Amino acid sequence: MILKAMAGILGLWPFIGFYWGKQKADIFWEEKCKAWSLPKGIGTTESLTILPLIDWYTKNGELTGEPGVSYLIKTDHNTILFDLGFNEHNEHPSPLLRNMSKLGISLDDIDTLVISHPHMDHVGGIKNQFKKTFSLSKEYVDLSDKVIFLPPGMTHPDFNVIQVHRPIRIARGVISTGPIYRSIFLGGGLFPMGFTPEQALAINVKDKGTVIIVGCGHQGLDRILELVHQLFNKSIYGIIGGLHFPVTESRISKLDGKIQGQKLFGTGKLPWDPITKEEVMSQISNLKSYKPSLVSLSAHDSCDWSIETFKEEFGPNYRELVVGQKITI
Ligand SMILES: [Zn+2]
Ligand SMILES: [Zn+2]
């Protein structure tokens, strides 16, 4: 404790935490993730639609855009809410609730809730990030009738939850990939980012293949693809969501844009070593090797340059990711 305090004073602790987390994340990947296999009897779904309820761009001015994520995923038998948006100004009703009501979505329609990772733009605000919990709005919203899947370390004081430590079946045809960890600067116990587990969904669509749904993409696109390929051992049909490519700008910017949140802190690299165009191009070429038929990149944690580049590179297989616009598989 004394040593930690001293290191903190010297400003060293964030670096110690960052490198220590990096080591731990790599060991978890090598020893755990690479040994995982597909849960038995997951089944398939014939239908699949994804309706973004929160993201950066919106279909029209009636809907609220945020640098956060919440997607409504419908299969043959289930309706899953994936993440809960940012609610940056701690409002009630939250932007998510407002968008849901404008889009005619009721909470009763939803049977399952999945949180990708414990960051503010996915758990409904910074307060929740600090407490490692989640909320749908500033005021209490009852979610006790939902089946709730959280990454390791997250809880909720009022609801029964399932913490996901490995790939598990979420619903018929739907699995969580299990958590992949990333060490994020600033971390190491002084700040709430740090050593971050993130789970994605992988959905087994009949006659098509696997569709991956990602929150922030801290896992690294290469690791997500490798893991899903290892689990399903068949083609990847599509990938939808946040992949964290803030090359030219961040959506979360403070102090008149001088602090570029996602550029500095979400990439798994140090703040003075931001993600480059070359790195994005190399991730794109790796993704192309899986021959996806559908690619849709969230603008909540990627800049317009990355969105435009994805559009060019994937051509007719690229789909806009916009609040209020359904993606049908
Ligand atoms: Zn994040
Ligand atoms: Zn995010």
Closest ligand (CA of 298):
2
What's residue 261's pLDDT?
Answer: 66
| Per-residue pLDDT, 242 | 97
CA of 125 to the centre of ligand 2 (A): 11
Quickly count: other Cβ atoms within 10 Å of residue 25's Cβ: 23
Cα separation, 150 vs 118, whole angstroms: 9
| CA 301 to ligand 1 center in whole angstroms | 8
Going from the Cα of 266 to the center of ligand 1, the distance in angstroms, rounded, reads 6
CA of 46 from ligand 1 middle (Å) equals 31
Q: For residue 119, which ligand has an atom nearest its CA?
A: 1
CA of 263 to the centre of ligand 1 (A): 12
Q: What is the pLDDT of residue 255?
A: 53
Looking at the chain, the number of H-run helices and the number of E-run strands are: 9, 17
Neighbours of 45 (CB within 10 A): 22
Ligand in closest contact with the CA of 301: 2
Amino acid identity, position 202: A
Cα(216) to ligand 2 centroid in Å equals: 4
Q: Find the 224 Cα to ligand 2 centroid distance in Å.
A: 16
For residues 226 and 260, give the distance between their C-alpha atoms in angstroms, rounded to a whole number.
30
Among all bound ligands, the one having the nearest atom to the CA of 83 is 2
Per-10-residue mean pLDDT, the chain, length 329: 66 77 93 96 97 97 96 98 96 98 97 96 94 96 97 96 98 98 69 80 96 97 97 94 88 62 71 85 96 97 95 98 97
217 CA → ligand 1 middle, Å: 7
Residues 6 or more apart from 133 whose CB is under 8 A from it? Answer: 123, 154, 155, 156, 157
> Residue 43's pLDDT is what?
96
Give 40 Cα–ligand 2 centroid separation in angstroms.
30
Q: How far is 114 from 127, CA to CA, in rounded Å? A: 19
Query: What pLDDT, on a 0 to 100 scale, did the predictor assign at position 260?
Result: 63
DSSP string, 121-180: HHHTSHHHHHHT---SSSS----TTSEEEE-TT---SSS--EE-SS-EEEETTEEE---E
Model's pTM, two decimal places?
0.92
255: left (phi over 0), alpha (psi -120 to 50) or beta: left
Q: How far apart are CA 172 and CA 47, in angstroms?
A: 12
How far, in Å, is the centroid of ligand 2 from the Cα of 252?
10
Distance between Cα 108 and ligand 1 center (Å): 28
Q: Which ligand is nearest to the CA of 215?
A: 2
Identify which ligand lies nearest to the alpha carbon of 197: 1
Domain architecture of the chain: domains with CATH: 21-328 (3.60.15.10)
For residue 70, report the distance from its CA to the centre of ligand 2, in Å.
Answer: 10
Tokens coding 127: 């307060």
Which residues in 185-315 belong to E strands, given as ranges?
194-198, 201-205, 209-214, 236-241, 253-254, 259-260, 294-297
**Per-residue confidence (pLDDT) for residue 188, from 0 to 100:** 46
With tokens 């909470």, the residue in question is 107
Q: Which ligand is in closest contact with the Cα of 56?
A: 2
Confidence at residue 296, expressed as pLDDT on a 0 to 100 scale: 98
Note the pLDDT of residue 193: 62
Element (H, E) at 25: helix 13-31
Structure tokens that stand for 203 in this block:
């959905």
